Amino acid sequence: MQIKKKETIKFFQFSMLGLVAMGSQFLHAQTTHLDSINMSAVEKNIRIENPYISFFQHLDFSRTSFQFSSTNQNFKRVQTPEKIGSFVFQSEGAYKLNDKIALSGRLQADKTTEENVPYILSDERTTHSSFIYNPSYYWVPRAARWQKQSYFINGQLAYNPIKPVIVQIGGQGRYAKSYRQNADPRPKVDDYDYKAFAKLGLKWRQHTLFGKLSYVNHYKNNDIMFVDLKGNVPASDSTYIRYNEGYGNQYIGNTQFKTSEYKMDGYIWGGEYAFNNATTHFSAGYDYKNVIERFYRVFEYQDASYNYHKEYTKYSGLKTDLHSFYLNFLGDYNGKKWASSVTYRDQLDTNYNYPLEYRTYRLEQQNVSWQNSVTWFNYKNEIFKVILDADYGKNHVKDLSVVMDRKLSFFNYRIGAEKEFALMPSHKLSVGITQSLYFPLKKEFNYEPFQSSKENIFVTKIAQPDFAYDATSKMGLTFNAGYSFDKTKIRYELFGSFTQIWLMNGTYKNAVNYNGKANQIASVGLNVYY
């Protein structure tokens, strides 16, 4: 069974690499189309997710990007890197083959190096989230360097077999591998995530009703590669493995378990209404996601005949119920292109300990996000872009095992503008500026040790500093510039950006050892439109 499993994993890896290569060649073949170079990110995402829009508004586009970015975080959540360096290749686009078939897709490959990531033996990070969603994982205090690789491919096909029927099917897969390089124990994480989805629509004039169904599956193997098993004892605090089974639960030493596995599967169903004509797309929909992620401890041993065996123990489970409502809008009026997307999410997570048969952890989370862009050209064919993004969220994490109660609500926005300047008919320079602001609206953190006067390491070293980070207002400023030129129906664009983020009050400064410097993000790259 293990041999068959390894063969399946190898097949998945090579399939992903092959699909990335084939997809890149397919998108490169569409070099005769250059209909939309200056599409906003909001419109691009809506069209890639819904290629059937091309039946009403024909707009082919393709883009390949190579980007290097560097991030230096002087203030951060605990389980995130101090420095990040990443190289990303991405290709994406949408293409209408004929009056009945339209295609869209995206593929991406990236390699990332992370410096000084403490208190975690998983590939999960809290860079863009207030917490790790599944609280069951191994960790050690010592910070380490991580090497991460990821391959992702997504594709959709829309089919209009007869006038009143629209069928859209698709799938996506992601394979990621991560290594903890320079500290013991050094885990290797293999991550496989895939999704298959379909929607069926009935069209009447400009109106369409869709039914949607998706299946999701996620498998993760965490192999803790000990250098010296005998050295990993409680006396060696920097290498002693701890297992956390809740956001406030006491840690447990488990050096006998060399590997662990996460298996998640579930479904998504929903419906959508869409209105389409030559200048307008509007859609409103609902999705319900139900998944369960289970954590398995794997004990390996060798019998008297020197045969290796593995015993799997189902230890904990995390159930997620997620309700999503969304609105999408695309409009092209009097030379101005408008794009807007609004999403509301309501999520409930609960965990379950199988050996002890009890629940302790509960997450309630609501979020509203709004993304907007407007683009237009002047008489010199120079584009002007304006963006406005806003988010409101609140979450409540409660762990009864140690009486930890964490509440946070926040608001953030991002507003920016970009202007092109024509140097020559086929050469342009673009400059832009974006300002962002995050501030908490309500914050509450309560913790009491349970049946012990001893402070919990996880709470004092991770949960409390992270809450101080989330409870601090932050302001960011980004400058970006690009130089583009056209040649034989292909546009080449060299771009760069620099972002600096500052703390706006002393909440975080008073809770941790902070050097007072701002965070910085820099990136450079090349876009090819064809």
Q: What is the tens place of the pLDDT at every residue in 417-433? A: 999 999 988 899 999 99
**Rg of the Cα trace of the chain?**
25
pLDDT (0 to 100) of residue 1: 45
Tokens standing for residue 248 = 């406030």
Tens digit of pLDDT for each residue in 443-500? 999 987 665 556 678 888 898 999 999 999 999 999 999 999 998 889 999 999 999 9
Position 339 in a domain? yes
* Cα–Cα distance measured from residue 166 to residue 52, given in angstroms and rounded to the nearest whole number: 8
pLDDT (0 to 100) of residue 132: 87
Domain that holds residue 400: 32-529
pTM across the whole model: 0.89
The strand order across the sheet containing 242-245 reads 136-139, 242-245, 252-253
Position 18 in a domain? no
> Is residue 32 pLDDT above 70, yes or no?
no
| Selection from 79, 89, 71 nearest residue 123 by Cα | 79
pLDDT (0 to 100) of residue 225: 79
Cβ atoms < 10 Å from Cβ of 104: 26
| C-alpha neighbours within 13 Å on the C-beta side of residue 223 | 10
The pLDDT-based confidence of 294 (bands split at 50, 70, 90) is very high
Position 62 in a domain? yes
Position 403 in a domain? yes
List of residues 6+ apart from 363 with CB closer than 8 A: 131, 133, 347, 348, 349, 350, 395, 396, 397, 398
> Is residue 38 pLDDT above 80, yes or no?
no
More confident residue, 30 or 149: 149
DSSP 99: S
Tens digit of pLDDT for each residue in 387-444? 999 999 999 999 887 778 999 999 999 999 999 999 988 899 999 999 999 999 999 9
Number of compact structural domains in the chain: 1
Position 15 in a domain? no
Tens digit of pLDDT for each residue in 91-125? 999 999 999 999 999 999 999 999 999 999 999 99
* Cα–Cα distance measured from residue 524 to residue 451, given in angstroms and rounded to the nearest whole number: 53
* Cα–Cα distance measured from residue 275 to residue 52, given in angstroms and rounded to the nearest whole number: 12
Position 435 in a domain? yes
Cβ atoms < 10 Å from Cβ of 278: 9
The pLDDT-based confidence of 248 (bands split at 50, 70, 90) is confident
Taking CA atoms, 36 is separated from 93, 337, 469, 530, in Å, by 10, 11, 40, 9
pLDDT (0 to 100) of residue 24: 43
* Cα–Cα distance measured from residue 11 to residue 507, given in angstroms and rounded to the nearest whole number: 50
* Cα–Cα distance measured from residue 495 to residue 68, given in angstroms and rounded to the nearest whole number: 11
Q: Please provide the average confidence, as pLDDT, over all residues in the chain.
A: 88
Between 29-33, 34-38, 224-228, 236-240, the lowest mean confidence (pLDDT) is in 29-33
For 393, the enclosing helix (H) or strand (E) is strand 383-399
